[in-house]
Chain A
Amino acid sequence: MSKGNSEYEFYVGEGTHLEGASLDIHGTARIDGTFVGKISVKHLIVGENGSVTGDISGETALVEGVIEDTLTLSGKLEVTAKGKIRGKIHYGELETVVGAKLVGEISTDWDGDQTVSQPAVSDRLEAFSASLEEDSDTSDEDL
């Protein structure tokens, strides 16, 4: 790791196992340990020994370690030679090298147009749930 930890809004160090969190980070998150949960982040870095499992959404990501489950990015996904991603992957741009592994359902917008006005498939349920919570409860009446 070349940068200091203070450069990241969120950091999980090597040897740390974090499970069950749901994070919304307006900045950069770096994972060098293990994270299981949900992350919404601007830029995600998964270090060589890092492992992230869950529902991940954001703008860009650099993957040197392992990601499993759902990764939805509006911008660039960079996967290095030791990087491995398995699951449902959606990206805006992709940069990768020999050795990187991407397994699963991989998609991007055919025309490269990112003006998507509705959430990506993987986020639709959570966006829908959030929109239900925003409104007051209009309970049905008993007969």
Chain B
Amino acid sequence: MKTAVFANSKGGVGKSTIALLTSLSLATRHNRAKVELIDLDPQATTSDSLSRFANHRFNVINNEEFSLGSATPNNSRIISHLESISSDHLSECYSILDCPAGNEPERSTFLLHSNIIFIPTSVSDADVFATKKYISSLIKLFDSDTENSPKKSPLAVILPSMIDHRDELNELRSVLAGMPVYFGKPLRYSPNFRRAFRAERDDNNVKVLLREHSAYSKWITDLIIHSDRLKLRPKKLFQL
């Protein structure tokens, strides 16, 4: 059982889009895997869009009990849900959580119960500033977790999102250089992302996205599956 969270305090950075791409990629690339997408965002964009694919091994959850409103998660409910899933001891079982904008690590102890936290960001100043603050709060949360050693903290991975030129990627890597987290592969910008959430009759919009970003999808799903291979928190930004 692996748990991956997509979070950032800033909205519009690609959390829901990459959560959609990732959960659907896990379910389609691994046809024996059980995947659940937990949408913590009251707007329910991701869960509304993915519910059409739900079946016995792909569960789409938008449970009001997981939220206390105003982007505040109901930590005890979420943790107890994750513990109940992990007690099934299913190796090919994945929980993907999509957090709403405004998420604050200090009020989100459930993050400590995940294996990997993805922090998408674009190259814009507003996104970068918010991402830096978010990561600082996240590290404080990790350090305040006295029950676990730093080695057991979840992995934190910045996801460069909607990048359309190598210079942008280099710029982003440079401004985030001091952050003690991993730096993931870039998700290229595509106009097809604008159509990602609509339920087209033939699902062609999602099909196009998965094909267009197949290498990225493979990278991110493999990273979740093998997240236990990366054990240490890097001292400074570490390119994956």
Contacts and interface: CB of A to CB of B under 8 A. Distances in A.
Q: Which of A55, A87, A124 lies at the interface centre, i.e. has the most chain B CB atoms within 10 A of its CB?
A: A124
B157 to A, nearest CB: 17
B52 interface: yes
A132 B207 contact: yes
A143 B32 CA distance: 32
Interface string A83-122: 0000110000000000000000000000000000010011
A137 B214 contact: yes
Nearest to B35: A125
B206 A125 contact: no
Contact of B201 (A118, A122, A123, A143): A118
B214 A55 contact: no
Interface string A13-42: 000000010100000000000000000000
Interface in B185-238: 185-186, 188, 201-203, 206-207, 210-216
Nearest to A118: B201
A121 B60 CA distance: 13
Interface stretch (B72-80, B146-154, B163-171): B163-171
Interface residues of B, number: 30
Contact of A132 (B53, B58, B210): B210
A65 interface: no
Nearest to B217: A140
A2 interface: no
B28 A125 contact: yes
Nearest to A129: B28
Contact of B56 (A55, A128, A131, A142): A55
Given A124-B53, A131-B207, A140 B212 contact: yes
Nearest to B54: A121
Interface in B12-67: 27-28, 31-32, 52-58
A143 B169 contact: yes
Nearest to A122: B55
Interface centre among B28, B166, B169, B188 (most CB of A within 10 A): B28
B211 A128 contact: no
Given A125-B28, A132-B28, A143-B166, A54 B211 contact: no
A6 interface: no
Nearest to A87: B56
Nearest to B168: A143
B220 to A, nearest CB: 12
A39 to B, nearest CB: 12
Interface of A: 20, 22, 54-55, 69-70, 87-88, 118, 121-126, 128-129, 131-132, 135, 137-143
Interface of B: 27-28, 31-32, 52-58, 163, 165-166, 169, 185-186, 188, 201-203, 206-207, 210-216
